[in-house]
Structure 1
Amino acid sequence: MLRFVGRKIPSSKGFQSLLINSNNNNNTLSSVCCTPSSLSHNSGVYSKSIFNKPVLLENNSSRNFTSTTVKRAESVEKEIKKDEENVKLTKPSLSVIKKLIEIAKPETKLLATGMACLAVSAAVSLILPIGVGRLVDTLALPPEQATEQLKLIGYGLSGLFAVSAAAVIGRYTAVQTAGQKIQKRLRKRLFDSYMRQDVQFFDNTKTGELVNRLSTDVEVVSETITHTIISGMRSLVEASGGIILLCFLSFKLTGVAVSIFPLLGIGAVVYGRYVKKLSKSYLDELAKSTAFAQERISNIRTVRLFSAEKKEVKNYEDKIEHVFNSGRQLGIARGVFYSAVNFGANMSMIAVLALGGFDVISGALTVGKLTSFLLYSIYVGISFTNLSQVYGDVMKAMGSSERIFELMHQKPLIEVSRDHGKQLDKIIGNIVFNDVTFSYPQRKEVQVLKNFNLNIKPGDVVAIVGMSGSGKSTILSLLSRFYDVDNGLITIDGEDIRGLDATWLRTHIGVVSQEPVLFDMTIEENIRYGIPEGVEVTMEQIIEAAKKANCHEFIMSFPDGYNTRIGEKGMGLSGGQRQRISLCRSILLNPKILALDEATSGKF
Structure 2
Amino acid sequence: MAWFDVLEQGVSGLLGRVHTQIRELQSATSQVFGFLLCDALASSASLAIALYYSWRLTLVLLATLPLSFLVLFLVTRHLEPAIQAQMAQLEMATKFTTASITAIDVVKVFNGLARELHYYRRALGLARRHYLIQARCNSAQVGYIAFWMIFMFVIGFWYGLVLVGDGLAPGHVITTFYSTLAAFQSVEALVPQWLVFSKGMSAGHFLSCLASRPESPKSHTADDQANGAIRLEHCVGDVQFTNVSFAYPSNPSAKVLSKSSFNFPAGQTTFIVGQSGSGKSTIGSLLVKFYRPSTGQILIDGLPLELLDDEWVRENITLIQQTSILFNDTLYNNVALGRRNPNTVTHEHVLEACQSALLQSTISGLPQGLDTQVGSRGLELSGGQKQRVALARARLRDPTVLILDEVTSGLDQVSRSLVMDAIREWRKDKTTVIITHDLSVLDPCRDFPSV
**Preserved CA contact (<8 Å) 1:438 1:487:** yes
Would you say 1:406 and 2:222 are equivalent positions?
Answer: no
**Preserved CA contact (<8 Å) 1:268 1:388:** no
Deviation at 1:420, TM superposition (A): 5.0
Give a deviation string over 1:387-438, Cα, whole Å, max 9, x none: 44566555443433333222222233277xx985222222222222233332
Residue type of the alignment partner of 1:548: S
CA 1:430/1:249 → structure 2, altered by over 3 Å: closer, same or farther? closer
Residue aligning to 1:457: 265
Deviation at 1:531, TM superposition (A): 3.2
Residue type of the alignment partner of 1:402: H
Could you tell me which of 484, 487, 504 is aligned with 2:312?
A: 504
CA 1:440/1:258 → structure 2, altered by over 3 Å: closer, same or farther? closer
CA 1:255/1:487 → structure 2, altered by over 3 Å: closer, same or farther? closer
Give, in whole Å, the separation in 2 of the partners of 1:221 and 1:233. 16
CA 1:542/1:238 → structure 2, altered by over 3 Å: closer, same or farther? same
Give a deviation string over 1:420-471, Cα, whole Å, max 9, x none: 5222222222222233332223333323223323222244332222211011
Deviation at 1:233, TM superposition (A): 1.0
TM-score, normalised to structure 1, is 0.58
Give, in whole Å, the separation in 1 of the partners of 2:152 and 2:368. 73
Could you tell me which of 469, 474, 480 is aligned with 2:282?
A: 474
Could you tell me which of 81, 85, 93 is aligned with 1:277?
A: 81
Deviation at 1:583, TM superposition (A): 1.9
- SS of the equivalent of 2:241 reads strand
Residue aligning to 2:141: 337
**Preserved CA contact (<8 Å) 2:357 2:388:** yes
CA 1:356/1:453 → structure 2, altered by over 3 Å: closer, same or farther? closer
1:112-151 aligned at under 5 Å gives the runs none
**Preserved CA contact (<8 Å) 1:511 1:594:** yes
**Preserved CA contact (<8 Å) 2:57 2:160:** yes
Give, in whole Å, the separation in 2 of the partners of 1:345 and 1:398. 27
Deviation at 1:556, TM superposition (A): 5.0
CA 1:561/1:227 → structure 2, altered by over 3 Å: closer, same or farther? farther
Would you say 1:558 and 2:366 are equivalent positions?
Answer: yes
CA 1:565/1:414 → structure 2, altered by over 3 Å: closer, same or farther? farther
Residue aligning to 2:377: 569
**Preserved CA contact (<8 Å) 2:76 2:141:** no
1:323-362 aligned at under 5 Å gives the runs 323-349=127-153
What percentage of aligned pairs have identical amino acids? 25
1:83-98 aligned at under 5 Å gives the runs none
**Max Rg structure:** 1
Give a deviation string over 1:290-319, Cα, whole Å, max 9, x none: 223223322223222322111111111122
**Preserved CA contact (<8 Å) 2:79 2:137:** yes
Say how many residue pairs are matched. 398
Give, in whole Å, the separation in 2 of the partners of 1:258 and 1:447. 64
Would you say 1:519 and 2:327 are equivalent positions?
Answer: yes
Deviation at 1:269, TM superposition (A): 4.3
Residue aligning to 1:383: 186
- SS of the equivalent of 2:258 reads strand
Would you say 1:238 and 2:42 are equivalent positions?
Answer: yes
**Preserved CA contact (<8 Å) 1:566 1:573:** yes
Residue aligning to 2:244: 436
Deviation at 1:328, TM superposition (A): 1.1
**Preserved CA contact (<8 Å) 1:527 1:585:** yes
- Larger relative contact order (Cα-Cα within 8 Å, sequence gap ≥ 6): 1
Query: Which has the larger displacement, 514-523 or 548-557?
Result: 548-557
Residue type of the alignment partner of 2:255: Q
Gaps of 5+ in 2: 164-168, 219-223, 420-451
1:248-267 aligned at under 5 Å gives the runs 260-267=64-71
Give, in whole Å, the separation in 1 of the partners of 2:253 and 2:47. 67
